Amino acid sequence: MDKKIQLWEGNHLVAEAAIRAGCRFFAGYPITPSSEVAEYMAWKLPQVGGTFIQMEDEIASMGAIIGASLAGVKSMTATSGPGFSLKQENLGFACIAEVPVVVLNVMRGGPSTGLPTHPSQMDVMQARWGTHGDHWVIALAPAYMDEIFRGTVRAFNLAEKYRVPVILLLDEILGHMHEGYEIPDDIEIIDRAKPDVPPEEYYPYDDSKGDVPPLAPFFTGYRYNVTGLNHDKSGFPTTNPELIQRDMERQRRKLYANLDDILWYDEYKLDDAEIALIAFGSMGRSAQVAVDLAREQGIKAGLFRPITLWPFPEEKVAKIAEQVDTILVPEMNMGQLILEVERCAGGKAKVEGVNKVGGLPIEPPEILEAIKARV
């Protein structure tokens, strides 16, 4: 075995990847099943000149990483469902102020306190629509160790490149899973664009050169206003309808005009598939095994596994719906991702869910039985 291969826990690998991506500030509050991320950061960040703060609550944790990011420091927090709920107000602030941050949600059963030590995938819609008002985020849901590592690096890169909060979705299975992994050397690091004008000419939301305005770090001579109110290019509040309309369209466009860069997915044995599975995260792993089991029995099954959940890969799902008669969506909730799949399929294929919410994963034989019942 290569001596570089180490045994990694999923949560610890997220933390290590974040540090290698340039994260130098972490604020959080311990919550199962994400606490190992804070534990690792508390140990490792000071060794690389970073800062770890255990805040008094989840609300303050989210506020702290926004402040650190505005000071020019790549920042993240980690939580699970109940804490993710508490972060939503400040997450909305990060959206409208266009502050690049990374938020890890290691999903557990809910609602409320729910199942703290068991897996779920119940926060799919919350990741996209958890805070009020029209807003745009990116959400990534890796399934394998390499995707966890590269996905964490990618989360920071996308946050920096597009000045947007990025949500990283794991679940208890992936967070606590241990597997051998060799950390790669070939990672690309992207840093936010900085202004090329002097402080007296700088506007924090000046889009004259593109949809993603350069972001000046505080304490470097640049002084500007940041607010949760709708604002003009100077950052000061405005109620001008035309300016607000234009700004909201720009915030949406900076993501949706760059889907080729943002979308990330995996296709498995889809070329000749007659029945398709669409699954993400740990259930994507289970679904892939189910596809192999089905193929062994002569059933032409395939898998589409979105890693970028938001923005959702609409066009790809629509094409799959044109190819197959049936799409099955295995997920550890009562049906969330399936709502997007149904919308994109547009009635061209029958879409059905395979759902489980008791705190146990959907195992490959269960998915296989669902496949066999529909062919």
Percentage of residues in the chain with pLDDT exceeding 90?
Answer: 98
Do both 175 and 228 map to the same domain? no
- pLDDT at 31 > cutoff 90: yes
Q: Are 312 and 302 in contact (CB under 8 A)?
A: no
Is 196 inside any structural domain? Answer: no
Cα-Cα end-to-end distance for the chain: 43
CATH number, domain of 345, equals 3.40.50.920
Residues 27-38 have a mean pLDDT of 98
Q: How far apart are alpha carbons 37 and 42 in whole angstroms?
A: 9
Q: Is 161 helix (H, G, I), strand (E, B) or coil?
A: helix
The domain boundary, picked from 237, 260, 283, lies at 260
Do both 241 and 279 map to the same domain? no
Instruction: Give the pLDDT band (50/70/90) at residue 214.
Output: very high
pTM comes to 0.97
Do both 163 and 223 map to the same domain? no
Q: What pLDDT is stored for residue 348 in this prediction?
A: 98
- pLDDT at 1 > cutoff 90: no
Do both 346 and 252 map to the same domain? no
Is 195 inside any structural domain? Answer: no
Q: Are 279 and 305 in contact (CB under 8 A)?
A: yes
Do both 68 and 132 map to the same domain? yes
> Following DSSP, what letter does each residue of 245-262 receive, concatenated?
HHHHHHHHHHHHTTHHHH
Is 11 inside any structural domain? Answer: yes
- Provide the domain count of the chain: 3
Residues 70-97 have a mean pLDDT of 98
Do both 118 and 242 map to the same domain? no
Do both 346 and 255 map to the same domain? no
* Residue range of the domain that includes 139: 6-181
What pLDDT, in 10s, does the model give residues 310-369?
Answer: 999 999 999 999 999 999 999 999 999 999 999 999 999 999 999 999 999 999 999 999
Is 76 inside any structural domain? Answer: yes
The domain boundary, picked from 225, 260, 295, lies at 260
Q: Across the strands, what pairs with 104?
A: 78, 168
Do both 246 and 326 map to the same domain? no
